[in-house]
Amino acid sequence: MRFDGKSALITGASRGIGRAIAVEFARRGADVALVGRDTAALEETAALCAAARAGAVAHIFQGDVTDQASVERAAAETLERFGRIDCAVANAGQSIDALLLRLKADTLDQMLDVNLKSAFYLCGAVAKPMMKQRSGAIVLVTSIVGIMGNAGQAAYAASKAGLIGLCKSVAKELGSRQIRVNAVAPGLIETAMTEKMPDAAREFLIKNAALGRPGRPEDVSGAVAFLCSDAASYITGQTLVVDGGVLM
């Protein structure tokens, strides 16, 4: 699971799971392109990447993943900077809870834009250079909520479920060019986003996890690195659940 001489493009790399994924790739030898809105936070991620491995290169791209042109520019800059794109991780995500009867149209639009459309844009932006290389790995970060659903999270669950369909379809489209597309579905992971969860929801997920604890961002980053590595060279179109044993 080494990525020496390879590059990885990660959206939502400012903090949490995205930051852990960037550091994981840097530690394993890759040069990384970090995409997000918060430049200061991206610089913190870049510093952690540099600390993870001497000589690691982290390129920062401040942009909006809900804007197709911005995502395409990020991919173009990555290609220009590193000469190739070996791995792409669609990690950018957001959760806004609302019961169905109180769900506003703009909330639904925001969930679809951030969680689903941004991944469409990333897949499209990296497909051409990967097809030219005849190699590449794409990982979409979904959620167990996209598999099992959750009361009060209809919009979030729908957007995350859409990623699973996107994963399977793009895997079938690009497989003949030796491009693999997989998804990772985390459960309760300790991040700034999950800190806002109601205590009852947190307790439910921890109680129903076979391991009896919440996960760490590093638990997800290791799974992402595996799916992008040569160790997973015959795996595509799959969703790897990383939830401590909630969905069994």
Q: Which residues are catalytic?
A: 156
What DSSP designation does 8 have?
E
- Quote the crossing angle between the two packed helices 154-174 and 118-133, to the nearest 10°: 10
Residues 241, 198: Cα–Cα separation, whole Å? 23
Query: Is the Cβ–Cβ distance between 224 and 21 less than 8 Å?
Result: yes
Q: Can you read off the two tokens belonging to residue 16?
A: 């949490």
Q: At what angle do helices 16-27 and 39-52 cross, to 10 degrees?
A: 30
Nearest Cα neighbor of 94 from 198, 20, 196 is 196
> In angstroms, rounded to a whole number, what is the distance separating the alpha carbons of residues 9 and 13?
9
Do the beta carbons of residue 134 and residue 152 sit within 8 Å? no
Residue 105's identity, in one-letter code, is A
Q: How many residues does the chain have?
A: 248
